[in-house]
Structure 1
């Protein structure tokens, strides 16, 4: 597997849905070779931002680039960016192998890539089982396999740890950190703060569509005992902080 060392740049992104402003003047960078945690309360604008990066929603103003290009301008998007969203769905009557072969054909990837990913994601024994009987953990692995078909250098993962048991969570942590060590750019949104603290190198924290703070995890946590304490201080207690992590 290879990596292209591409940064994701979100620049003054604003998205309004009628009278509702989901994201407001949001800017941050996701660097290659690191796992970045994208955090915020429910409704903070995380999923909208990730969908805007992928041109699934059209920004009201501002935008995002991947390696300096908009998603729509990438020559072969699935070979550059892989994405997993919390609402990913599979046809319950299809097997894991059939599902991956369908998406491989759509992307122009050979069947041998399907077999590689089934092995990599630990799905070989379940490859010919129908996805309707899959556990949450197996469905998450299949979602990741689908996102990785094009061997992309950038991964955008929306709540990939939802519903995983401790074993599955530990596996996911090791897998994503391995991808980052290869030089890939990994952006992960999550509510599982204790797990995020063990996983990420960098943090972007937003509230009500605006950036609250961003930077290396070790620097941001600083004197706080945990990422959870920092999160609650900045999102619940209503403290006024600068976008670089210090008190304004």
Structure 2
């Protein structure tokens, strides 16, 4: 599982994340929600060891990311739409990352098939649409068959068919007992996808719990809950 305890990050005089404590358990998709600038990406980057916390801790199965023996075999991540060599094909990109992580070539073929990358494996990454790039990012994250996934807006650029596929795919991964943390702004999709929610505002925890426990007669949808708790119009 993923755990944060009193997690904080300051950039000079600006506090981006303040004393965040929450747990992301295996076996369900957990949505990480908050307005732009709330601190979601900063938190994810601290979980993945890309930023050093100013205070507190972030662990994966009880260890810091930096202490994992084979990180890509334990954690898969999608944080932004970058990291592709423009002249590499999608297939070549995956082979490079498989070599770096010590993963087999057969695993490259497997992730291309399950993510749909096989359909455009021979195309240079510079020619790929946003949705194709998202699928390639996800395939890269899955190379090590990790038990934990940290995904920042993985549905960006996907068409309705792709979004429906992603929903079923992530649910299937969670159903295998994996830990899946996903940030998104598409609340109607989150309501269909996620079993749990962690919601922050201005770097602080607003609420965390099962989606079904947050929805009520007064706030009948996740959008009502979100707007009510983050200061929008309820």
Could you tell me how far apart the structure 1 residues matched to 2:66 and 2:136 are?
Answer: 25
CA-CA distance at 1:238 after TM superposition: 9.1
2:114 maps to which of 111, 116, 120: 120
CA-CA distance at 1:125 after TM superposition: 2.6
Could you tell me how far apart the structure 2 residues matched to 1:171 and 1:105 are?
Answer: 28
Mapping for residues 131-170 of structure 1, pairs under 5 Å: 131-170=125-164
**Does 1:229 find its partner at 2:196?**
no
- The equivalent residue for 2:8 is 14
Could you tell me how far apart the structure 1 residues matched to 2:214 and 2:11 are?
Answer: 32
Per-residue deviation, residues 177-212 of structure 1 (Å, max 9, x unmatched): 010000000000010111111000000000000000
What is the DSSP-based 3-state SS (H/G/I as helix, E as strand, rest coil) of the residue aligned with 2:144? Answer: coil
CA-CA distance at 1:164 after TM superposition: 1.6
Could you tell me how far apart the structure 1 residues matched to 2:79 and 2:193 are?
Answer: 18
- The equivalent residue for 1:99 is 93
Could you tell me how far apart the structure 2 residues matched to 1:181 and 1:79 are?
Answer: 19
Per-residue deviation, residues 90-120 of structure 1 (Å, max 9, x unmatched): 1221101100000001011111111111111
- The equivalent residue for 1:243 is none
- The equivalent residue for 1:58 is 52
1:24 maps to which of 13, 18, 26: 18
Superposed CA RMSD in Å reads 1.2
Per-residue deviation, residues 47-89 of structure 1 (Å, max 9, x unmatched): 0000000110000000111111111111111100000012333
Gap change, CA 1:39 and 1:167, over 3 Å in 2? same
1:195 maps to which of 186, 189, 197: 189
Could you tell me how far apart the structure 1 residues matched to 2:222 and 2:232 are?
Answer: 15
**4+ aligned runs moved over 2 Å, structure 1:** 86-89
Structure 2 residues without counterparts, runs of 5 or longer: none
Answer whether contact 2:7 2:21 (CA < 8 A) is retained.
yes
1:38 maps to which of 32, 39, 52: 32
Aligned pair count reads: 233
1:204 maps to which of 195, 198, 211: 198
Gap change, CA 1:237 and 1:100, over 3 Å in 2? closer
What is the DSSP-based 3-state SS (H/G/I as helix, E as strand, rest coil) of the residue aligned with 2:182? Answer: strand
TM-score, normalised relative to structure 2: 0.97
Structure 1 residues without counterparts, runs of 5 or longer: 1-6, 240-248
CA-CA distance at 1:225 after TM superposition: 1.6
